Amino acid sequence: MKLLSKIGQYLKDSIKELKKVTWPTKKQITVYTIVVIAMSLVVAIYFGILDYFFNWLLELIIKK
């Protein structure tokens, strides 16, 4: 029975803490999502260029 009361207290405390959370607005979520997508694209392009460069360099080394 002690375990059930601890679980109940944990759930009550969790709900209390969730009420204190300041949730982002819809506009903030949209902006953050766009930033994450844009940064993901930038990083993907960067690694793509880096991969292309190393591939080109390796081909030069192998051909010699």
Rg value, the chain, Cα: 25
Is the predicted pLDDT of residue 1 greater than 80, yes or no? Answer: no
Mean pLDDT of 35-59: 98
| pLDDT score for 64 | 72
Token digits for 2?
A: 């002690």
pLDDT of residue 49: 99
Residue 51 CA: distances (Å) to CA of 8, 44, 46, 57: 53, 10, 9, 10
- Mean local confidence (pLDDT), 7-33: 96
What is the pLDDT of the chain when averaged over all its residues? 95
Residue 63 banded pLDDT, cuts 50, 70, 90: confident
